[in-house]
Amino acid sequence: MNPATTEFLRQRFCEYYKKTVLVPPPSLVQREWGFVLFNAGSTDTRMRRHIGFSDRGEMECYINNLIPQHAYYSTAYYEKPDAGTMADKGWCGADLIFDLDADHIVRGPYDQMLARVKEETEKLLVMLIEELGIDRKSIALVFSGGRGYHVHVRDLAFRGWGSSERRELIDYVCGIGIDPAAMLTGKTVPSAGWQNRYRKALLDYLRWIGSQPAEEAMTYLTAIEGIGKDSAALFLEKRDEIISDIEHRPTAMILRNRVLGILVSQQEGRFRERLLATAALADEPVTTDTKRLIRMPTSLHGGSGMRVQSLELRELPGFDPLTDAVVFGTRDVKVDARFPLKMPMLGSTYELQKGINTVPEAVAVFLCCRGMAEIA
């Protein structure tokens, strides 16, 4: 990012912070704060952290004077949040956090990535509320301002959890460490949960195999390590019987079929894809980290120029980040695009050629923040 682009962005961010109402997190005085500043011409990102505020006014004054590129606060609560070392802070607990980032889920055009990560967020909220019984009133939902969503659970029951307890919960959400024998043991019950999801995914997978021409099914099975022609042929003969047993007489004994055991134990492949499609693909390290810094709602994301936006749970289905989290206007700005691109924003799609283009200010801010263009 060249100096002119850095100054353009800093001025736009300054305008935003001077007119917006910043909303601090609960228990402001127990949070550690961190900020990344605009640094023209530098590729070295350094965070100014170990900062604490005594009240909202001090926080607002600091941010308005600093004009950060990124603003973060700790998910943890501390006795001395401004202490210079983590050991001296006095950890008092932490919010339970889930981070859903499209970068970890799918690649493609930005608007398509945002649509997909919204689906994962909706799946996560259903799991937390309907399966795990978490009170929806204790859940705070935030659009990250970039490529995903943050889910904050501020129930006191979770605040004291360590990394191991949080690991068990994120493993459940992501479908990690599933035991096939446990999933196929017991009667089918009409409720949400991994047992039902697993059986449905397995039945869909077995029916897909059966829908293939015989020769293609054999080719598919024998291409998997450990499955020979005789085993594959016998499995295909017994496929309908296996499906019937899973539907009506589920038991771990079904896995005594050698080919089925190999299919469900694969860490990649078509069955695993079906299974993961029913999980909520949250970022595991974020949930297990009890001292994480996370973006401040109402701040601006320095990698997009969009607002880190708090949402009511009921608002998520209709929320469009490329309209609802855009804070800059439509006045013309000239940018020098690094390559040809299409950018959807504010209800339109802007097609840019490599070189000088005139675009709305909101698009210019986004492209410059992402390093896709410089101010002309």
In this prediction, residue 4 carries a pLDDT of: 92
Q: Which amino acid type is present at position 266?
A: Q
Phi, psi of 334 (to 5 degrees): -90, 130
In this prediction, residue 217 carries a pLDDT of: 93
Question: Which residue is catalytic, options 99, 111, 155, 245?
Answer: 99
Is 44 a known active-site residue? no
In this prediction, residue 335 carries a pLDDT of: 94
Query: Helix, strand, or coil here: 338?
Result: coil
Phi, psi of 41 (to 5 degrees): 75, 0
Chunk the chain into consecutive blocks of 10 residues (it has 376) and report each block's average pLDDT, rounded to whole numbers: 92 95 95 90 76 96 95 97 94 97 86 93 95 94 96 95 96 92 79 87 94 93 92 92 89 88 90 92 95 96 96 95 95 94 92 94 95 92
Residue 83 tokens read as: 């202490």
Question: Which residue is catalytic, options 44, 55, 155, 283?
Answer: 283
Bridge partners of 348, per DSSP, are: 345
Question: Which residue is catalytic, options 55, 95, 101, 135?
Answer: 101
Nearest to 184 by CA among 172, 197, 195, 200: 195
In this prediction, residue 40 carries a pLDDT of: 62
Is 103 a known active-site residue? no
Q: Show the DSSP H helices in 141-193 as ranges.
A: 156-159, 163-174, 180-183
Gap between the Cα atoms of 345 and 258, Å rounded: 52
Query: Helix, strand, or coil here: 284?
Result: helix
Whole-model pTM over 0.75: yes
Q: Which amino acid type is present at position 88?
A: D
Is 204 a known active-site residue? no
In this prediction, residue 189 carries a pLDDT of: 66
CA distance between the termini of the chain: 12
- 369 CB burial (10 A radius; 0-12, 13-18, 19+): buried
